[in-house]
Amino acid sequence: MTYKKILIAVDSRENSIDVSKKGFELAEQLKAEAALIFVVDKSKATGDPDAGIMPNEALMVLKKEA
């Protein structure tokens, strides 16, 4: 079986750089097209209503950091 496309999913964890490098290396070896996607953990977007930060605003911050 030949792979034509590889999707590499990363997040904010430290090992994501290594994962993306390996994914692009694999794509090069297979002569496949590679795409990178950054995954945002929505469960971390809890916000802090007492500080005036609502969950939707916290999610926007996470997306900007991505």
| Alpha-carbon gap, residue 66 to 50, rounded angstroms | 25
pTM of the model: 0.69
> Helices (DSSP H) in the chain: which residue ranges?
16-30, 55-65
Q: How many CA atoms lie within 13 A of 64 on its CB side?
A: 6
pLDDT of residue 35: 97
List all residues 6 or more positions away from 64 whose beta carbon is below 8 Å from its beta carbon.
Answer: none
Q: What is the full per-residue pLDDT of the chain (66 aa) written as tens digits? A: 789 999 999 988 889 999 999 999 999 999 999 999 998 877 777 777 777 777 778 778 777 776
Domain ranges of the chain: 5-65
pLDDT of residue 64: 78
